[in-house]
Structure 1
């Protein structure tokens, strides 16, 4: 594994992306803090910021230690007028937001909560990306509701459209940390397992390493996660892209590459798993008899 390195010279987001650097985002807050008993499911408001700030601070620290470069403020669904619609799933609204934010004079990164089918009015992912860039966004992409592979498909459509339009922008992706191949247009909200029985769908760290590599190969340089992304998932991104970044995060000090630490295990059959080939080709089981492989969305 690449050596762990100290803090880097502070640079702005666009400065990093313009130079080709990989920027690693953070992960899940609402669903993660709900699991830990700090947030009430339903409206998914971030009341923990006021009621349990130490829990929020600790989660930020865990993502930072795992390799996150950017820590997003925990303000999702924090205003009364945002309770009915918690995402940018309409291109026109996202464009309005970009236009307003552009007035600040700061770089604007805009991600939409859409899959390959596009927004709720049928605007394709490519059209969404073009509209956002023309409105002034320097970074565009997708976040939430869909899993890594579906989100990368959406990113590919965005990239193709931007190239066809002769527009340049950096790409950003922050998908769910769950396998969601059976989602409808509304994503994981339509699945019967949402939100309290999603654990069988959780991506392994090895799934996320593959996702990080495919995102990088696609040309995405801002790579993170949304609901379901735990700190160890972020660490997996940082470890997969350590050759490109030139260093590992502090959280990797106790974690050996591709399970190589299992060489010290007392059981010989577990020592035999201390290799990349084993984990890359593993097909994890759910452990549930007659488990359905896919669900039928409720909507």
Structure 2
């Protein structure tokens, strides 16, 4: 991990200031950790497939703990878990009556955890996601999407969030509809696309052009999240960075995507018959998981490319976020438990280790 100078904005006493998103971006890099859907599914609190964040109401303590872990690891933001807490998803599971309570409770919970860090307060962000129903040739779906975005944005603003995130859009116009709803609140908006394997958004618009349009319409930050891993997201990010004059966001998935398999949807693992068609998404992606050193290297590379809003999406875990924060020169609460392999019983170098530890290491 690199030893860059610390770009963490703090006052003279070493305490993080209470500045908002834009002020923090002016003076350094903002880390926004995500990955709630996959991690809470792995922990047994969320159902894969529907991916509705019922955990907000059913197991709030589990969600609060994950928020806590991400802040301790290095996230500057607690993102209220309202991703897929929209009307279409709740309709799908027959629980539309939980829509508003779920959104409001998620925002309350984010604030409650943020209050646990009074000397290093994270921002709290509201969150909107792709609707999965929008179609560019159907005005009815555009109206429905606008309605879903508007109610979630309003609840988030009423809940006192610092800014709003709209993410994982694969249609340019759907992202614009989300931005319209977020702009009505007067809060800064971060808008990011999930870039399909073709390299073009599904309404045949280049992602660079789509980001320019968002920036022109008032988005505070534009960029990419999800779908692509470290190597396959960078070329498009560099194109976006060159095309816009606002901060750029990069929140890839920590999976080893390739030029031949550029998204985690397209990864294949044909050696495991249990997968049927060989597609590991979304339940068998572990063999493709990136390690903490790859996460740190991505943070270095992205910052060198001029990208100042960093994070990880589906598949992220606290150790990835800690590695990214430390690559940016930061020391976070979880850094007190950073690895010290010098004291490992077999592979360590500490002179106080048992005299036969090298012999043990050679036989392992």
* Match for residue 84 of structure 2 among 77, 81, 93: 77
What TM-score results when the alignment is normalised by the length of structure 2?
0.66
Superposed CA offset, 1:105-132 (max 9, x none): 2211111111571211221121111111
CA positional deviation for 1:184: 5.7
Q: Does 1:124 align with 2:203?
A: no
Q: Does 1:209 align with 2:216?
A: no
CA positional deviation for 1:99: 2.1
The 1-side partners of 2:53 and 2:335 are apart by 29
Matches within 5 A, 1:170-209: 170-181=247-258, 187-191=263-267, 192-209=279-296
Q: Does 1:250 align with 2:333?
A: yes
Query: CA distance change for structure 1 residues 183 and 73 in 2, over 3 Å: closer, same or farther?
Result: farther
Deviates more, 1:149-158 or 1:43-52: 149-158
The 1-side partners of 2:260 and 2:37 are apart by 20
Which runs of 5 or more residues in structure 2 are unaligned?
A: 93-130, 134-167, 268-278, 350-364
Equivalent residue number for residue 141 of structure 1: 223
Query: CA distance change for structure 1 residues 219 and 13 in 2, over 3 Å: closer, same or farther?
Result: same
CA positional deviation for 1:100: 2.4
CA positional deviation for 1:262: 1.4
The 2-side partners of 1:182 and 1:157 are apart by 17
CA positional deviation for 1:190: 4.0
Matches within 5 A, 1:140-159: 140-159=222-241
Query: CA distance change for structure 1 residues 123 and 158 in 2, over 3 Å: closer, same or farther?
Result: same
CA positional deviation for 1:201: 0.6
The 2-side partners of 1:262 and 1:60 are apart by 28
Superposed CA offset, 1:169-202 (max 9, x none): 00111110111115667x3234400111100111
Contact 1:27 1:234 in 2 (8 A): no
Structure number, greater radius of gyration? 2
CA positional deviation for 1:160: 2.1
Matched residue count: 256
Equivalent residue number for residue 20 of structure 2: 12
Contact 1:172 1:220 in 2 (8 A): yes
Q: Does 1:103 align with 2:179?
A: no
* Match for residue 264 of structure 1 among 343, 348, 353: 343
Query: CA distance change for structure 1 residues 184 and 92 in 2, over 3 Å: closer, same or farther?
Result: farther
Instruction: Please tell me the root mean square deviation across aligned C-alpha atoms, in Å.
Output: 2.3
SS at match of 1:189: coil
Contact 1:99 1:136 in 2 (8 A): no
The 2-side partners of 1:266 and 1:53 are apart by 39
The 2-side partners of 1:61 and 1:180 are apart by 29
The 2-side partners of 1:189 and 1:62 are apart by 27
The 2-side partners of 1:198 and 1:7 are apart by 39
The 1-side partners of 2:256 and 2:81 are apart by 24
The 1-side partners of 2:318 and 2:85 are apart by 23
Matches within 5 A, 1:58-73: 58-73=65-80
Equivalent residue number for residue 234 of structure 1: 321
Equivalent residue number for residue 175 of structure 2: 94
Which runs of 5 or more residues in structure 1 are unaligned?
A: 163-167, 273-299
Contact 1:27 1:231 in 2 (8 A): no
SS at match of 2:169: coil
Contact 1:126 1:161 in 2 (8 A): yes
SS at match of 2:192: strand
The 1-side partners of 2:54 and 2:229 are apart by 26
The 2-side partners of 1:184 and 1:90 are apart by 21
The 1-side partners of 2:260 and 2:86 are apart by 28
